[in-house]
Amino acid sequence: MPADRLLEYIVQHHSAAFLNTLPPLTFPHQLGPGTRAFEIVGAEMQHQQQGLRHQDVVLCRRMDLAQPNLRVHRIYAFVTQSRLMVRRLSERRPDNVLKLRADNPDYGTEEFALEQALEIWEVKAVFTTHLRPPSTVEERVTRLARQVEELLARLG
């Protein structure tokens, strides 16, 4: 869902006619029926140049609202009356209150009553245009792997 159409989606999320006007996305793999794509707005789920970035697009699978099988540590998109909130589930209490946290430590954990959700989507994949260079550790591991291959080639 493009960020500029999010309010329209919140108002018309139940309208089949509206849903049929959404632009289709085609990927080499399918997440199954009931897949939705939402654009990330903000940096709540980004930490140390990793995670979900502003303008990334998350691909989500719809959860059954009557009995959502929510799992701790997974990322979910919650559609409410006023916003789309993408957060990591840190705890589900017996009174159906969820503790949700942003990956960015500058944002606090918040409690969310499950009945506030119009829809719940499990984030299954992300489309990003940000290509991050390898970290120093990744570079060292790659260099060591190459050196091991060279040594094995000399021995063999």
CATH number at residue 111: 2.10.109.10
- The per-residue DSSP string of the chain comes to --GGGHHHHHHHTT-HHHHTTSPP---SS---SSEEEEE--SSTTEETTEEPPTT-EEEEEE--SSS----TT-EEEEE-SS-EEEEEEEEE-TTSEEEEE-SSTTS--EEEEGGG-SEEEEEEEEE----PPPPHHHHHHHHHHHHHHHHHHHH-
pLDDT band of residue 124 (cuts 50, 70, 90) is: very high
For residue 16, give its domain range.
Answer: 3-155
Residues 32-41 have a mean pLDDT of: 85
The count of domains in the chain is 1
Least confident of 60-69, 92-101, 113-122: 60-69
pLDDT score recorded for residue 156: 76
